[in-house]
């Protein structure tokens, strides 16, 4: 990623399109990108994504595709056709699914970044253990990140707490996208493995997904500016 491109992805976690439109009108596409997830996409569909793209925003279509390879490949092609900046899949869908998804976006006229979810950041250690994996969370994240890289994906969605080890493992071009970012003093909400923006920068995170601290603010652009300042300060300190 370049030093000037936006690192903040604002999560439009709304039940319908109107509040998403209202928030987008208060934000600057040169300073942030927007995430459209399952609830908003189910309610408002591709039309809203198209509106946001036309406004100049880079849109992260966060639908976490996980299905048979042909179905996921077709979905990724359809997402690329919407002009989105990034789309994601579940790495646990396996090698064939990841490979055909990567091939599908490579053939798009406007190629989006393709990232894979490793382990959901909402899972606690106890909840993860109930799923029966042989590895611990860190081991599972590393294995799925390796698989995603090997299959030609552009990066992974991971917890910021796993980012430092992944950053040291992969080339800088392999993007790390992290939800669960909360400015100091914010509520954790439904995330378990969280981190502040400054700590995320130090861990090597490329893009940070931030929702409620911005979307519920009386002045979203002011909060965005404060987070940008925190990020810039951390970047300068790291130089």
pLDDT digits (tens, 9 = 90+) for 194-224: 689 999 999 999 999 999 999 999 999 999 9
pLDDT above 50: residue 88? yes
Catalytic residue among 3, 38, 62, 190: 62
189 is annotated as an active-site residue: no
146 is annotated as an active-site residue: no
Domain 8-238 is of which CATH architecture? Answer: Alpha-Beta Barrel (3.20)
Catalytic residue among 16, 64, 136, 154: 64
64 is annotated as an active-site residue: yes
Q: Does residue 33 contact residue 58 with C-beta atoms inside 8 Å? A: yes
121 is in an annotated binding site: yes
Q: SS3 for 173?
A: coil
pLDDT above 90: residue 121? no
φ, ψ of residue 170 to 5 degrees: the values are: -120, 160
Q: SS3 for 147?
A: helix
pLDDT digit string, tens, across residues 6-52: 999 999 999 999 999 999 999 999 999 999 999 999 999 999 999 99
Q: At what angle do helices 137-150 and 160-167 cross, to 10 degrees?
A: 50
Q: Does residue 60 contact residue 86 with C-beta atoms inside 8 Å? A: yes
Which pLDDT belongs to residue 184? 67
Q: Stretch 155-171: mean pLDDT, rounded?
A: 93
- Counting DSSP H helices and E strands in the chain, the numbers are 10, 8
Q: SS3 for 28?
A: coil
pLDDT-derived band of residue 4, with 50, 70 and 90 as boundaries? confident
Which pLDDT belongs to residue 148? 98
pTM assigned to the model: 0.92
233 is in an annotated binding site: no
What distance in Å separates the CA atoms of residue 89 and residue 144, rounded to the nearest whole number?
12
What distance in Å separates the CA atoms of residue 182 and residue 185, rounded to the nearest whole number?
8
Burial class (CB within 10 angstroms; exposed 0-12, middle 13-18, buried 19+) of 8: buried
């Amino acid at each position: 990623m370049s030093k000037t491109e936006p690192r903040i992805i604002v999560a439009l976690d709304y039940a319908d399109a109107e509040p998403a439109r209202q928030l987008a009108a208060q934000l600057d596409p040169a300073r942030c990108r927007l995430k459209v997830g399952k609830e908003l996409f189910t309610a408002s569909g591709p039309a809203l994504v198209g509106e946001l793209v036309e406004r100049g925003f880079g849109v992260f279509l966060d639908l976490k595709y996980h299905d048979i390879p042909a179905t996921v490949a077709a979905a990724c092609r359809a997402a690329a056709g919407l002009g989105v900046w990034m789309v994601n899949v579940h790495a646990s869908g396996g090698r064939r699914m990841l490979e055909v998804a990567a091939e599908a976006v490579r053939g798009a006229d406007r190629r989006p970044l393709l990232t894979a979810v490793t382990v959901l950041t909402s899972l606690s250690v106890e909840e993860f253990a109930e799923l029966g994996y042989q590895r611990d969370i860190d081991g599972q994240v590393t294995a799925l990140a390796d698989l995603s890289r090997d299959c030609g994906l552009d990066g992974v969605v991971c917890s910021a707490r796993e980012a430092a080890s992944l950053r040291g493992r992969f080339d800088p071009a392999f993007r790390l996208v992290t939800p669960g970012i909360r400015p100091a003093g914010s509520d954790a909400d439904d995330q378990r493995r969280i981190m502040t923006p400054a700590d995320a920068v130090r861990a090597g995170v490329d893009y940070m997904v931030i929702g409620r601290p911005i979307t519920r603010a009386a002045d979203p652009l002011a909060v965005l500016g404060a987070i940008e300042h925190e990020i810039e300060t951390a970047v300068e300190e790291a130089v």
